[in-house]
Structure 1
Amino acid sequence: MKIGNKNLWVILIVLGITLVVVIQVVRHFFREEERQIRTHIREAVKKEYPEAVNQLKAMYGLKPFDQPKTSVKPDAQTSAVILVHGLDEPGKVWMNLAPALVEKGFSVWTMTYPNDQPIIESAQFFLECIKSHSLAKTKNISIVAHSMGGLVAREMLTHPSLSYVEKVDKKELPAVWQLIMVGTPNHGSELARFRIFTEFREQIIGLFNEKYHWIHGILDGAGEAGIDLTPGSTFLERLNRRPHPRNVNMLVIAGTMNPWQKNEIEDFAHNLTVKLPEDTRVAVKEMENVLLSVSNEIGDGLVSVRSAQLTGVPLRIVQGTHLSMIRNIIADSQRIPPAIPIIIEQLHRTLPKNT
């Protein structure tokens, strides 16, 4: 039987997707071994290409967000807002939030880092950047983190070997008084197993940067972060066993693509309970639970509401996808991403009294 070109392409695509799925399933059973192998490869490449390593280092770190048109002059010596991106983020995630914060008078900084490396290494790099930067003289810092950036921040604030609390007590570091996490997979994301597609996107975008080097795809991490993000990973279990960071106001903002909000589902179920016969109440309650569960699991398309929330931390749910809740997909759109007003409100509401 002759197979047409169109059908052949369909078969090849299906086989390719099937192969990726099978590989990801098998990897689940050898996560730590894979992590060690990836780290070994990355370290070997770093020794082989020292110039590329130095070139890449210059691209990372803490940098002020420049918005010269603003009429408000922030006081960086008093407080600062640091924006921390997530995994395989090309850099546009702050295109709407950063200008909005500057317009409100905040001193805004962006933190970029080798996001494919182990999260503990990113956390250590973050701490070193704050300590060695002029921000070390700032009285207090607030962090707004998207996706994995929230885990990097939590790791920096709580990992025993990084000694954040001790350094603050010794006045070696400014105090972080606020952490706002947007779409952070605090309990992991199943889609982290398929991060090869987002890594491919990041490297394609990097090709348009004149400073890009082909080896950067390995030097910025060999995919260890994706393993850390997998639900049940050693990293997540250790992180979530620790208490929340001391004296830090925390807020979780989670997105949902479900057209019905929690209160709308509850109101709908209540109205049915009132109107329908009493013997249908059990069925209505079951329907309500199913709708709420589906809403939580869908989440923003990448991170479920259940994964984002943390015990003892306030939760705000907004309508949107993993990206659209914090930035517009179209650059010239006048839409205000739903997480931005909440972030600004939170920063103002809990502003330290000494600022």
Structure 2
Amino acid sequence: MTSAAQVHKPTVAQHPEMFDATTRAEMSKRTQRGALLAAAALGAHPPRRQFTRSSRVQQRAEDPRTRDVGRQIEDDYASIRQHYGTSATPKHPIVLAHGLLGFSELHVPPLPRIQYWHGIREALAAQGATVITTSVPPSSPIPVRAARLAEEIARAGIDTAAGVNVVAHSMGGLDARWMITNILGRPGAAAAAGIKVASLTTVSTPHRGSPFADYVLRSSSGILYLPRLYRVLERAGLSTGAFAQLTTAHVEREFNARTPDVPGVRYFSYGAAVAAPPPLLSPFRVSERIVRREEGPNDGLVSVRSAQWGVYQGTLVGVNHLDLINWPNRLRWMVRGWMGVRNRFNAVAFYLDIADMLAREGL
């Protein structure tokens, strides 16, 4: 694994297909392993329309910010726009923070290099943004991951004292919140570290935990049997502390109580919802049903309800947890192409629009 702060030269192609042609996994060949990946993958517009929740959804005490799922974003990011405006480049560097079991770049010779942010950092840099990619311990507890995140930003080799915009996927959003509040939020800590966080944008982060994490921790057998996964991680020299910290009880009662928002930091969020039930080849068929039964629409791991924090920007429709970082099911995309069905989400276009939004906000 490598981690690096990178200032990328413009190399993005004029056609978005370049970013989708090569994916890191043939998801169609991983029916059982896909389920295990799903278990592991846990790491302002005005409201327009609402999803209708199933009567089976359990009623909980709601944070006022989660009563509306915001606008449904269906095909806004189907392709990369030709122009993003004269002020589309954010003022501050963008920090990319990965989720559970994530990495910046992974290289196991003789296999090709694998990037967590597949094609995304290059596209952001091509628009003129300064991009810092970070790598934290893949499955360590949130405080450990958050401390490493701060270290990665501090040693990036560029000016971060004026401000950075953190863009985080999945558990990376919890790492970033802990860093902002409990590390940089201590008196004098931000100045000492040379880091000022101007904004945090979270993408399908379980701000209230995930019912699928609850389910996995309760499982006593089968492919989702957690002790089996723990043994695999321990043999690889990795921690297992992250998993219990993604449960609904831990995040809602402990993490959120200890991690209030910091005044002066702008908080934005996006959620996603796949069609129910997901396609036959989706690795999220089991997890989507479990989360939907408890909390309604979700991306296969994180519900729309749980993803909302700060200014909720909307719900990406028909998008799963891995689509959000440009890891599409290649077979699914090929079949859609053969059938003449237009793909309605391009992750590169989505993150370019986030950068555009940050620039419009003066960040």
The corresponding residue for 2:311 is 313
| Superposition deviation, residue 294 in structure 1 | 6.8
- Write the mapping of 1:147-226 to structure 2, written as runs, cut at 5 A: 147-159=170-182, 162-163=184-185, 166-168=188-190, 170=191, 172-193=193-214, 194=216, 217-218=236-237, 220-221=238-239, 223-226=240-243
1:190 aligned partner, one-letter code: P
| Superposition deviation, residue 247 in structure 1 | 1.7
- Write the mapping of 1:240-251 to structure 2, written as runs, cut at 5 A: 240-241=256-257, 242-251=259-268
Equivalents in 2 of 1:306, 1:96: separation in Å? Answer: 28
The runs of 5 or more residues in structure 2 that have no matched partner are: 14-88, 106-114, 218-222, 278-291, 338-342
CA distance change for structure 1 residues 318 and 68 in 2, over 3 Å: closer, same or farther?
A: closer
Pick from 272, 277, 300: which aligns with 1:255?
272
Give a deviation string over 1:271-294, Cα, whole Å, max 9, x none. Answer: xxxxxxxxxxxxxxxxxxxxxx87
Pick from 151, 167, 179: which aligns with 1:144?
167
Secondary structure class of the residue paired with 1:350: helix
CA distance change for structure 1 residues 329 and 354 in 2, over 3 Å: closer, same or farther?
A: closer
The corresponding residue for 1:87 is 100
CA contact (8 A) 2:11 2:122 kept: no
| Superposition deviation, residue 156 in structure 1 | 0.3
Tell me whether 1:299 sits opposite 2:298 in the alignment.
yes
Equivalents in 2 of 1:179, 1:243: separation in Å? Answer: 13
The corresponding residue for 1:69 is 11
| Superposition deviation, residue 65 in structure 1 | 6.3
Pick from 124, 128, 133: which aligns with 1:105?
128
Pick from 227, 243, 255: which aligns with 1:239?
255
The corresponding residue for 2:340 is none
CA distance change for structure 1 residues 296 and 256 in 2, over 3 Å: closer, same or farther?
A: farther
Pick from 330, 355, 358: which aligns with 1:347?
355
Equivalents in 2 of 1:336, 1:144: separation in Å? Answer: 22
2:202 aligned partner, one-letter code: M
| Superposition deviation, residue 87 in structure 1 | 0.7
CA contact (8 A) 2:10 2:128 kept: no
Question: Which is helix-richer, 1 or 2?
Answer: 1
Equivalents in 1 of 2:230, 2:178: separation in Å? Answer: 24
CA contact (8 A) 1:156 1:164 kept: no
Equivalents in 2 of 1:318, 1:119: separation in Å? Answer: 26
Equivalents in 2 of 1:153, 1:304: separation in Å? Answer: 19
The corresponding residue for 2:21 is none
TM-score normalised by structure 2 residue count = 0.56
Equivalents in 1 of 2:206, 2:92: separation in Å? Answer: 27
Secondary structure class of the residue paired with 2:180: helix
CA contact (8 A) 2:166 2:201 kept: yes
Larger radius of gyration: 1
1:114 aligned partner, one-letter code: P
CA contact (8 A) 1:78 1:139 kept: no
| Superposition deviation, residue 153 in structure 1 | 0.4
User: Which one has more relative contact order, counting CA pairs under 8 Å at least 6 apart?
Assistant: 2
2:197 aligned partner, one-letter code: V
Tell me whether 1:118 sits opposite 2:144 in the alignment.
no
CA distance change for structure 1 residues 167 and 353 in 2, over 3 Å: closer, same or farther?
A: farther
CA contact (8 A) 2:134 2:153 kept: no
Q: CA RMSD in A?
A: 3.9
CA distance change for structure 1 residues 336 and 167 in 2, over 3 Å: closer, same or farther?
A: farther
Give a deviation string over 1:248-292, Cα, whole Å, max 9, x none. Answer: 2221111101379xxxxxxxxxxxxxxxxxxxxxxxxxxxxxxxx
CA contact (8 A) 2:163 2:195 kept: yes
TM-score normalised by structure 1 residue count = 0.57
Secondary structure class of the residue paired with 2:205: coil
- Write the mapping of 1:14-33 to structure 2, written as runs, cut at 5 A: none
